[in-house]
Structure 1
Amino acid sequence: MISNSEIREGYLRIFIPLCAADLFLFFSVVMAMYTSYEYGHDAFWDIEFPNRSKTMSNESGQSICGTTNASVQGDQEEQIVQAVVSKWNLYISIAQGVPLIFSSLFFSSLSDFFGRRPFLLLGTLGVCIKYCLMTLAVIFQWNVYLFILFSFVDSLCGSWVTQLAIAMSILSDLTASGKSRSFFIAVFSFVFGLGFSLGSFLSGYMVTLLGYDYSMAIACGLSAIAFIITCFIPETLSNSQRKQNFSCMGNVKEIFRFYMKKDPTYAGFTRWKFITLILSFTLIMMSRLGSSAFETFYLLDSPFCFSPEKISIFETARTCISEIMILAFIKLMQRCLRDEVIAFLGSISSVALFIVFGIAPSTTFLYIAVIIGSIGMCSIPLIRGILSKMTPIHNQGVLFGGIAVVENICNLTGSIIGNAIYSETVSFYKGTAYLVFAGFLFVAMVLLMFLMKDTPQNYNRKGTVSSQTDLIN
């Protein structure tokens, strides 16, 4: 049960707008992501095969492979387009990922000095600017490679990565160290997961009914709503809780200190646990984000031949089932199991999902994978919560800044690995990338298993001590 003493008074007037802002933000992010993927896929058909009939493209709302899989030439053309669009997406990932390593690092750390609110606004603003530019590019049919530049601009503002890191820091400001923090992070993850579901569900229908231009414009409008709501979120870090001295190199050292040096304030928690948790987080996020970079192309191609609407339905059903199951699973399991054990069980589910996805010969296997992998991503909010509980309140921004950097590196390297493997193996075995990421998840599962060595007695004692310390501070 969650104690009232573990939650700051008046938290709802901060927590609810924060959830609403991220609901709209991730709604826009996912809608724009799928729209841009499908727009790029269609645009490269025109670039590579300009004389091809429009009825053979996705503008008809049908999967291209559904009309060409009986033709050897059609299969070869599809593989060419798949390879080119994967490389295009790879360049976008690099343009966004590399600057984000630095912006997410410094903005999140700066929030410990200047407060959370300015950088929460900046990250949301960057997303809004990006989608406004993409909307103009689709309407006026600018060069598709300009999407790389727009992603670069977004990354300079910190994008959703910094916004999410600051939001997690705000949740830490609102809650004391304990299971309440893990649960609130899980609830927050459920809310922006709901935005993810809405974006994936509506994107295909919007593209089919309204076209790429209106779909991207809607995504732009949703990000603008997120920015407006964010303007009303008050500051959560008081002046007395902020760090007094700022140093760029000092912030970098602070991030690495978690994994290189013990914190005497939290002597019960050892350095190896920080390292094990962040390595597990890295492998899980790399697999999750890396697979999303090519999954749309995977589903568009044979043997699945999904249309944009079917991709929307499938991804929405998958996300909704997963988010609901994760929230219920965490709430139920926290009554009798430690967070580390729950995360380990989730990693087993993730491994099974990726293996079945990789070997799936038909759509039926994809649905089976969704069921057995429904609790797979519960490891992410739990690892965030465990790390946060091990960290003093004045270092929450540094902690989540470091996590944001890791998350961005995972997004960058995962996308590079995923797109590179997929583009090179699409001609002979399309599921290879999923199987590679399943190997990453297996290693994460083994690492989480080591965390279970910590005894329940020590866990309860340390959790109580850290809770009391936070409340006193």
Structure 2
Amino acid sequence: MSPEEKSLIQQTDKITKKDNSIPLKYATIIPAVFLLSLGGDIHTYVVNEWTQYTIRTDKFPNMSSVHNFSACSDTNHSDENYKHYKIVQQKSAMWLAMYNTAHHVPMIFANMILPSITDARGRRFLFVITSLGMLTRYCLLPVIIYFKLSFLFVVAAYGLDGLTGSSYALYSTVFSYIADITTGDNRRVRGIVVIEVVLVVKSVLSSILSGYFIDTWKIEYLYTGVISAFIAFTGFFTFAFLVPESLNEKCQQKSKSLLATLKRSTEFYYSTEFKGMRSCYILLLLCFMFAELSDMNRSTLETLYFLGQPFCWGPSQIGVYLMVRHASKGVVGLFILIVFQRFMSNQAICTMSTLSNAASYIVEAFAMTNLMIYMVPVAGMLSFLMIPMIRALMSTMTDNTTQGALFASMALIEVICSIISSYLENGIYAVTFSFMNGFVFLVLACFSMIDFTLLIAYCCVKPYHLIKPKIQTYNSVHNTNV
């Protein structure tokens, strides 16, 4: 690195340190993300449980075995209650699949376009659109429950939310926002990891609150839905009125046609403009895809896994384990990142996280006791860093004026992976649980090892592209008041 290049990077860091508005932006974006997504998670619990409850009470009002059913009990499969239980589960699964499809199909198109537009119009407009779409879905649920409307209205609410990009577009814009207000690889990595930690915390808190609202305090689904909508409204209000813009008008690109906007989110991977860097983008995008496939459906698979033999856990035991796993990996992951960044590169930390993730899946696949299961979070201490580190590595390669386009391409991969993982991994579990109920976790471990291989390849080609993104970042910051 030449002295001139070092000087440019040092000046970039000084500009960022002098920006007194950055703490304010973190102080507004973090609670906005937390509150909106917390309300959304509670809403999801209500939708899932209310759907099953409604089907059960409508078709079999005298049935009491659903909540007490155990896969480990000596159930008589010819018993009427067992047959009713299967019908309720099948119909519930059908409607939940319809919700998922109505939600994700329009999101594919929305996430190809909307996050990219933020590079031309700023981030705040999409914060308002996506959070309003999510809030609308949350507010419609209590109305549907109160008037006892058809499940088709829930499908329509999910579809409407999907048209605005929903949580995937929101989070991709949040990550673009973090990229706008940070420079320097380590600071940007920490900023993105902090957002991921916030999302982990809300997952833990939402599972606890949902359990208390519905099971312990016996609050009806209607009022729990109202509570979730109110929590989400506070997040929407923060996004709409308190979160300041992060992308200065001087850095905003000129508005382009819809086709040009769509093209911008894919140019990183084929355009001659990124010649010499395309291999890095492609390798990291593949890493991101396999990381999402290995992580996205994990909690659902674990729920099925623990309900069956040899564990035979109930909902409360499963909830405690998921809380421990999520909480430990978030807190420990952030602490380890801060410590490890003093001694090794971000690429090395990311590579280690893939091995940690694979190890956690292997332990989980062969565990036969509760003690072994609680070794899974220990083996996976670094696994939490895998996805946010890949996001950060791609972001630090990219100029600030194209962060929205970059995260749009990643959001599209997330939506596709969400659909694929749900059907593929649940299908693998259904086919293989008869001879090894943990076999699906070995498949997910293989996905993590593919990530490890791709990251090694990335580390081999990255030395050719160390400086260019730094200079672009300096130029972006130098011409804007972030």
TM-score normalized by the length of structure 1: 0.88
The answer to whether structure 1 residue 18 and structure 2 residue 37 are counterparts is no
CA contact (8 A) 1:100 1:158 kept: yes
Cα offsets for 1:251-309 (capped at 9, x unmatched): 22212110113546xx7x62111101011101111222233445444444554444444
Contact kept? 1:109, 1:397, Cα under 8 Å: yes
1:215 corresponding residue in structure 2: 224
Q: Evaluate the alpha carbon distance shift between residue 187 and residue 177 of structure 1 in structure 2; reply closer, same or farther with a 3 A threshold.
A: same
Q: 1:71 aligns with which of 47, 71, 75?
A: 75
Separation in structure 1 between the aligned mates of residue 37 and residue 89 of structure 2, nearest angstrom: 26
SS at match of 1:175: coil
Residue of structure 1 aligned with 2:256, choices 246, 260, 263: 246
- Distance across 1 between alignment mates of 2:119 and 2:138: 29
State the partner residue of 2:361: 354
Q: Do structure 1's residue 382 and structure 2's residue 386 form an aligned pair?
A: no
Cross-structure match for 1:437: 444
Give the match for residue 124 of structure 2.
117
Q: Which residue identity is paired with 2:29?
A: L
Post-superposition offset of 1:220:
1.6
Alpha carbons 2:251, 2:476 under 8 Å: kept: no
Give the Cα–Cα distance (whole angstroms) in 2 for the partners of residues 313 and 410 of structure 1: 27
Q: Which residue of the partner structure matches residue 114 of structure 2?
A: 107
Question: CA offsets per residue over residues 305-340 of structure 1, 9 Å max, x none?
Answer: 444443433222211111111111111111121111
CA displacement at 1:198 relative to structure 2: 0.9
Aligned residue pairs: how many?
Answer: 462
Please tell me the residue identity of whatever aligns with 1:50: F
User: Counterpart of 2:41?
Assistant: 30
| Paired amino acid for 2:319 | S
Unpaired segments of 5 or more residues in structure 1?
A: none
Q: What CA deviation, in whole Å up to 9, does each residue of 1:387-428 have, x standing for no partner?
A: 111111111111111111111111122222234444555666
Distance verdict in 2 for CA 1:424–1:132, change over 3 Å: farther
State which drifts further: 438-447 or 252-261: 438-447
SS of equivalent to 1:322: helix
Residue 38 of structure 1: CA displacement?
3.4
User: Residue 65 of structure 1: SS of its match in structure 2?
Assistant: coil
Secondary structure, aligned partner of 2:265: helix
Aligned to 1:203: 210
Larger mean Cα displacement after TM superposition, 437-446 or 180-189: 437-446
Kept after mapping to 1: 8 A contact 2:15/2:478: no
- 1:168 Cα deviation after fit: 0.9
Larger Cα-atom Rg: 2
Shift of 1:242: 1.0
State the identity %. Answer: 24
Q: 1:243 to 1:155 in 2, by over 3 A?
A: same
The 1:158–1:343 alpha-carbon spacing in structure 2 relative to 1, beyond 3 Å, is same
Shift of 1:154: 1.2
Letter in 2 for 1:65: S
Is it true that 1:230 corresponds to 2:239 in the alignment? yes
Contact 2:280 2:461 in 1 (8 A): no
Tell me how far apart the structure 2 counterparts of residues 236 and 461 of structure 1 sit (CA, whole Å).
24
Q: What residue identity is the alignment partner of 1:5?
A: I
Shift in CA distance, 150/430, structure 1 to aligned 2, threshold 3 Å: farther
Q: In the TM superposition, what are the counterparts of 1:38-53 in structure 2 within 5 Å?
A: 38-46=49-57, 50=60, 53=63
Q: Which amino acid aligns with 2:70?
A: C
Query: SS of the counterpart of 2:297?
Result: helix
| Equivalent in the alignment of 2:416 | 409
RMSD: 2.9
Contact 1:97 1:408 in 2 (8 A): yes
Structure-1 separation of matches of 2:462 and 2:111: 35
CA–CA distance in 2 between the matches of 1:429 and 1:342?
32
Distance in 2 of aligned mates of 1:356 and 1:146:
42
Tell me if 1:472 matches 2:466: no
How big is the shift at 1:165?
0.9
User: Conserved in 2, the CA contact under 8 Å of 1:166 and 1:400?
Assistant: yes
Unaligned runs of 5+ residues in structure 2 are 1-9
CA-to-aligned-CA distance 1:224-245 (integer Å, 9 cap, x gap): 1110111211222121111113
Amino acid at match of 1:71: T
TM-superposed CA distance for 1:441, in Å, is 2.2
- Label 1:36 to 1:437 Cα distance change in 2 as closer, same or farther (>3 A): farther
